[in-house]
């Protein structure tokens, strides 16, 4: 297998030839930070594009729509407090994304690190699996570009906040109305997660010689841990 020759090639190969990208990443896990930076920049650009033309009043009304019923006095207080924060929504989202991305890479990397020890005899370092988790987030760049295109095509302005979830299972399949049981779960899962899962499966194949079945299980572990119990709760309440 021919490994990617440099960082730029590895970033591109993650989309076109992921096995080559992970073959190179195994020896250069520090490239993880470049991947995280690229994802953070793309995500911030999409957030500013989506929220840039929205008025604070529109943002607050959209947020309150998903808050459920509340007494009039509480609603008025909530609206007043949220209006003070609303003008900074894009800034908060961009900064939060930059903070959360490496944290998720750390957590997911730890899951893959432990999972490999259960599923394989190979023993790749935590640093390598942190790098794999970081590179597996690169589909979010495509997701961000898609959001930017959608926002620009629709002309900007007061767009639905839910447009950010355009690739979610709820928008694509279920259509659960906001505020109803299962909405948050169905909105939290999107098609780009499947792409990320596939990338980790490729890493498992390249680094740990896992079968495709075990490789996909490794890639799915974080989502099973997060969404499995959540789905069980939703079904129990439904």
Residue closest to 147 by CA, chosen among 160, 168, 163: 163
CA distance 51 to 160: 10
Residue 196 located in a structural domain = yes
Judge whether residue 92 has pLDDT over 80.
yes
Q: Is residue 155 part of a domain?
A: yes
- Cβ-contact 65, 59 below 8 angstroms: no
Domain that holds residue 151: 7-237
Task: Give the pLDDT score at 232.
Answer: 85
Mean model confidence pLDDT for the chain:
93
How many domains is the chain partitioned into structurally?
Answer: 1
2: in domain? no
pLDDT at 125: 97
The answer as to whether 128 is a domain residue is yes
175 within a domain of the structure (yes/no): yes
Residue 110: is its pLDDT beyond 80? yes
More confident residue, 50 or 180: 50
Identify the band that residue 209 occupies on the pLDDT scale cut at 50, 70 and 90. very high
Is 1 a member of any domain? no
Average pLDDT over residues 66-88: 84
Question: How confident is the model over 24-33, as a mean pLDDT?
Answer: 97
Is 43 a domain residue?
A: yes
Q: What is the pLDDT of residue 78?
A: 87
pLDDT at res. 1: 67
pLDDT value at 67 more than 90? no
Region 197-210: what's the mean pLDDT?
A: 97
Percent helix, strand, coil in the chain, to 5, is: 80, 0, 20
Cβ atoms of 206 and 22 within 8 Å: the answer is yes
The pTM for the full model equals: 0.92
CB within 8 Å of 85: residues ≥ 6 apart:
92
pLDDT at 66 exceeding the cut of 80: no
| pLDDT of 109 above 80 | yes
Amino acid 26: pLDDT: 96
Task: Report the pLDDT value the prediction gives residue 75, as an integer from 0 to 100.
Answer: 82
For the residues 128-137, what does the mean pLDDT come to? 98
Q: For 61-75, 149-163, 218-232, which range has the lowest pLDDT when averaged over its residues? A: 61-75
Residue 182: closest CA among 234, 224, 230: 234
Above 70 in pLDDT, residue 238?
no
Query: Does 106 fall in a domain?
Result: yes
Least confident of 29-43, 140-154, 173-187, 214-228: 173-187
């Amino acid at each position: 297998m021919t490994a990617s020759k440099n960082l730029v090639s590895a970033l591109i190969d993650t989309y076109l030839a992921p096995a080559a990208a992970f073959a190179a990443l195994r020896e250069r896990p520090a490239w993880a930070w470049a991947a995280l930076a690229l994802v953070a920049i793309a995500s911030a650009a999409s957030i500013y594009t989506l929220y840039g033309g929205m008025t604070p009043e529109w943002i607050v009304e959209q947020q309150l729509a998903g808050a459920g019923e509340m007494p009039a006095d509480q609603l008025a207080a909530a609206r007043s407090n949220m209006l003070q924060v609303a003008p900074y929504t894009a800034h908060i989202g961009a900064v939060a994304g930059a903070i959360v991305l490496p944290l998720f890479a750390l957590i997911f990397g730890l899951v893959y690190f432990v999972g490999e020890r259960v599923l394989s005899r190979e023993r790749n370092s935590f640093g390598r699996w942190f790098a794999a988790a970081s590179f597996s987030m690169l589909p979010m760049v495509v997701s961000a570009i898609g959001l930017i295109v959608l926002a620009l095509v629709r002309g900007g302005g007061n767009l639905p906040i839910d447009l950010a979830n355009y690739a979610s299972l709820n928008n694509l399949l279920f259509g659960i109305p906001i505020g109803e049981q299962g909405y948050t779960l169905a909105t939290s899962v999107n098609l780009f997660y499947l792409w990320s899962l596939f990338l980790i499966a490729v890493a498992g194949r390249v680094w740990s010689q896992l079968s495709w079945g075990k490789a996909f299980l490794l890639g799915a572990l974080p989502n099973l841990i997060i969404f499995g119990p959540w789905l069980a709760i939703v079904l129990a309440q439904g």
